[in-house]
Amino acid sequence: MKEILISLLQSLGLAWWVEITTDAPRCTYYFGPFASEKDAAIAKSGYIEDLEQEGAAELKVVIKRDKPQNLTVYDEATDRGERGNSASAVGA
């Protein structure tokens, strides 16, 4: 039943997501969807821990309603200190 609710919320753009932005590497990660802000808040520490274990630095965490098109967005040009387009990849 909870999966149906999450699916409905996601289709309406009302699901909750954990957005984590890192400066090294320069990425934005989306984790979710969640039925409530509380559920997302409970889960966020595990995602932070995983990213830190992978060597990510300077994490910024936001919990928000969203409907991300890509679950991982890697800004290759900015990460290398260049100007240009950012690259996107699907994955979590």
pLDDT per residue, tens digit, the chain (92 aa), is 889 989 989 999 999 999 999 998 999 999 999 999 999 999 999 999 999 999 999 999 999 999 999 999 998 766 566 544 444 444 44
Cα 80 from Cα 92, distance rounded (Å): 22
How deeply is 18 buried, as exposed, middle or buried, from its count of CB atoms within 10 A (0-12, 13-18, 19+)? Answer: buried
- Tokens representing 15? 């699901």
Looking at residue 82, its pLDDT comes to: 55
pLDDT of residue 2: 86
